[in-house]
Amino acid sequence: MEHISTELTCLVADPNHYQTILFGGSGTAAVESMISSVSGNEAVVIVNNGAYGKRMCEIAAVYGIDYLEFKSPFDDAIHLADLERCIQSSGRKISHLAVVHHETTTGLLNNVKELGVLCKKYHIDMMVDAMSSFAAVPIDLKEMNISFLASSSNKNLQGLPGVSFVIAEKSKLESLKDRKPRSYYLNLYAQYQYFAEHAQMRFTPPVQALYALRQAIEELKQEGVAKRYERYMASWTTLITGLKRLDLSYLVPEAHHSKLITSIREPYSDFDFQSMHDFFYSKGIMIYPGKLEGLRTFRIANIGDITSKDIEFFLELLEDFLDGIEVNK
């Protein structure tokens, strides 16, 4: 676990000043630990431009944290001037800002580096849900002014689900020492402190998922983070070229797109997602429904151990499926 912790830190920061704190649990456990442990008595601004930003608001609400929701379009860059106005005019002392790096709902990639500059100006510490950007999209905690980052074993790390983690600046962790905990199990400082002393998690670790994660990190190092992102982006280009050929459109414009997951508009108003899902499922491909309220979309991810070839296979099947609809209409 020490090896895993250090390796994860090294992907985004200097392990002398930053520490990875491991939890058993899915990604939301790490986000919940971060939000509930780090927020103090002052207000937290939470950027909501998709379902995962909204989830952070819901977590803050559960813990009774004083938060300020900054709503931003789901398909466009965060308007920094608006956000700055929100910070200035709130009338509250703001200690933290929480944001999702890559909104897995839509494929929108938020410009965390710009937000880091804004946070620095107002002495605000930044918490980032980097669940589906970590290990592909370049991240440097110090350079981006990120104090706390949450991610998990099963997205771009390509491991098994079951391990999530927070990577944090050690000095910021130490400052949580005398904080009254809001949660017992997800107490970030206690988990950090216990690991520092015993090199163990406080509670039963998900051993099998940790062995898989160790192997996944090995495979990531063999491929390289930059090369992995290149492979993902090549798959995305294949996907988008195919979508255009099939006359399908997607939500987020390329300039703000992660090129990792794509929300595609359903082609007809009475489109039946479930039958498309079942069609692909029978061919060994799992596709996801959309996750934005009021918008009829489905999502295709091109992360994981897949290549452009797999995407081409997917596109052929998609064409067959759409042709089948035409025939039956």
Distances (CA, A) of 43 to 66, 86, 96: 5, 12, 7
Q: Which of 1, 26, 185, 214 binds ligand PLP (CB under 6 A)?
A: 26
Q: Is 262 in the site for ligand PLP (CB under 6 A)?
A: no
Q: Is 193 in the site for ligand PLP (CB under 6 A)?
A: no
CA 123 to chain centre: 24
The distance of closest approach from Cβ of residue 17 to ligand PLP in the complex, given in angstroms and rounded to an integer, is 25
Q: Which of 52, 232, 250, 298 binds ligand PLP (CB under 6 A)?
A: 52
Q: Is 153 in the site for ligand PLP (CB under 6 A)?
A: no
Tokens for 288, please give them. 């996801």
Q: Which helix (H) or strand (E) holds 56?
A: helix 51-62
Q: Which helix (H) or strand (E) holds 126?
A: strand 125-129
Spell out, one character per residue from 89 to 118, where the chain touches ligand PLP: x when CB under 6 A holds, - when not.
-----------x---x--------------
Q: Which of 10, 28, 63, 223 binds ligand PLP (CB under 6 A)?
A: 28
3-state helix, strand, coil in the chain (%, to 5): 45, 20, 35
Q: Which is nearer to ligand PLP, 4 or 149 (CB)?
A: 149
Query: Helix or strand or coil: residue 253?
Result: coil
Q: Which is nearer to ligand PLP, 203 or 268 (CB)?
A: 203
Q: Which of 11, 119, 131, 252 binds ligand PLP (CB under 6 A)?
A: 131
Q: Under rule CB under 6 A, how many of the chain's residues touch ligand PLP? A: 11
Instruction: Determine the Cα–Cα distance for residues 73 and 103; give it in Å rounded to an integer.
Output: 12
Q: Which of 12, 31, 99, 300 binds ligand PLP (CB under 6 A)?
A: 31
Exposure of 129 by Cβ count < 10 A (0-12 exposed, 13-18 middle, 19+ buried)?
buried
Q: Is 152 in the site for ligand PLP (CB under 6 A)?
A: yes
The distance of closest approach from Cβ of residue 108 to ligand PLP in the complex, given in angstroms and rounded to an integer, is 10
Sheet with strand 43-48: strands edge to edge: 18-24, 163-169, 148-152, 125-129, 94-100, 43-48, 67-71
Q: Is 241 in the site for ligand PLP (CB under 6 A)?
A: no
Contacts to ligand PLP by CB under 6 A: 26-28, 31, 52, 100, 104, 129, 131-132, 152
